[in-house]
Every structure is written in structure tokens, then in C-alpha cells.
Amino acid sequence: MDTPETPQIYLITPTDIELGSYPALLADILDTTEIACVRLNLSSKDEDRVSRAADALREVTHARDVALVISDHMLLVEKLGLDGVHLSDAARSVRYTRKELGDDAIVGSFCGPSKHDGMAAGEGGADYVSFGPVRAGTLGDGSFAETDLFKWWSEVIEVPVVAEGLLDADIIRTLTPYTDFFGVGEEIWALDDPKAALQELIAAMG
């Protein structure tokens, strides 16, 4: 039996970033850690603010050949020269988004803990499907994507899968054989040394 490849890191930005300092921090992480993709994940609905952040991060990521996708704002992908979009409405808009952006754009879909939504997103043309959170939390209804979902997906479905939400070292050790990417975000940005925190999570894969 083939040994599964080590999952890659899919880096998710904070929901609010300081443009005076965050691009340099991101550059430092990208220069020292292999990152597959960065997701601009701002909570702001201010187009100017989102656009300025995207421009700043695009310079950092594209200089290092790392893809940059944006959460939900499909119409900004071409306008800002981004690589694609991460949709948070499960499978509902995957097919439409794929048609609008074409085959070259990255289209990802967050499907919570739902196998059904994940399969529908894959059939709709998603490049990857993201499940999470990966353990029970106090927000929402407490539902989470169980290890068995990732096991099943890795055995049956070819569409790459991302594990994200409430990651820690123990969960990473458990899911490493069954996921293609770990979507790391709030787990590191809230800490004093995000780069070191990321390295600790990566070490758990080994």
C-alpha cells in the first residue's frame, strides 16, 4: 500500500488585517514554509478595503508562485488578478461560478460537515472541497466533520479535500493520512508568534 503524501498547508488570513504589517508577516512565512495556497478571508464588505488588501497580498504571493484565492467575492477574481474563489455556501454556487470564471480559475467549496454537499460540490466542478470544523466547538450547532468523513472521502472521492476549523496538533496527527490540505488560519494568527505556531502544527504531521 502506498504511503500517503504529506498534506500541504492552505493558509487562511485573519478576517481583519493590518496592511502596514501583515504583508511582511505573510512574506516571512512564505519564505520559510511551503504553502500551497493563501485565502484572503476578510469579513469586510467594503470593496475598496478588500481590493487594497488583495493587491497587497497578491504582490507577496505571486512573487513566490503561491496561489491567492478570495472568500466568496467571485466578481473580484478577474478584476484583481486573483487565482480563484473559495465559496462558503456549500455546493450551491459552484456550477455557476465555474461557468463564470472558466476552467483555469481555482474554485473551492466549504461544505461544513456534509458529505452530501461535498459530493455535490465535486460534481459541480469544485477543485477542492473543504470540511470543518474538525472537532466540536461552542459556536453554531456544535456539528463538526468527523474523522470518518475524511477517511471515506480519501478512499472514494478523487477531488482534493481540505480539513479546516479548530485544528490542533492531535487532530492534525489523526487526519494526516486522510486529507490533502490543512486550512490553517485563526489557530496561528491569535498567537504571539504565528510562524512558530504554524511550524508546531506542521511538525504534528510528521
How does pLDDT run across 90-138, given as a tens digit for each residue?
Answer: 999 999 999 999 999 999 999 999 999 999 999 999 999 999 999 998 8
pTM, entire model: 0.96
Number of domains in the chain: 1
**Longest C-alpha distance within the chain, in Å?**
51
Domain presence at residue 33? yes
Average pLDDT, the chain: 96
Domain presence at residue 2? no
Q: Crossing angle for the helix pair 22-32 and 194-203, nearest 10 degrees?
A: 30
pLDDT exceeds 60 at position 151: yes
Q: What is the pLDDT of residue 5?
A: 84
Domain presence at residue 27? yes
pLDDT exceeds 50 at position 1: no
pLDDT (mean) for 59-78: 98
Q: What is the pLDDT of residue 6?
A: 94
Do 176 and 6 meet the contact criterion of CB atoms below 8 Å apart?
A: yes
pLDDT (mean) for 176-189: 98
Confidence of residue 188 (pLDDT cuts 50, 70, 90): very high
Domain presence at residue 155? yes
Placement of cell 496592511 in the chain: 19
**What is the CA 108 to chain-centroid distance, rounded?**
8
Strands 35-40 and 181-184: unpaired
Q: What is the DSSP string of 107-157?
A: EEEE-TT-HHHHHHHHHHT-SEEEE--SS--SSTT-----HHHHHHHHHH-
pLDDT exceeds 50 at position 3: no
Q: What is the pLDDT of residue 142?
A: 83
Confidence of residue 183 (pLDDT cuts 50, 70, 90): very high
Domain presence at residue 3? no
CATH code of the domain covering residue 148: 3.20.20.70
Domain presence at residue 15? yes
Domain presence at residue 158? yes
Domain presence at residue 1? no
What is the per-residue pLDDT across 83-102, written as a single tens digit (0 to 9) for each?
999 999 999 999 999 999 99
Query: The domain containing residue 77 runs over which residues?
Result: 8-203
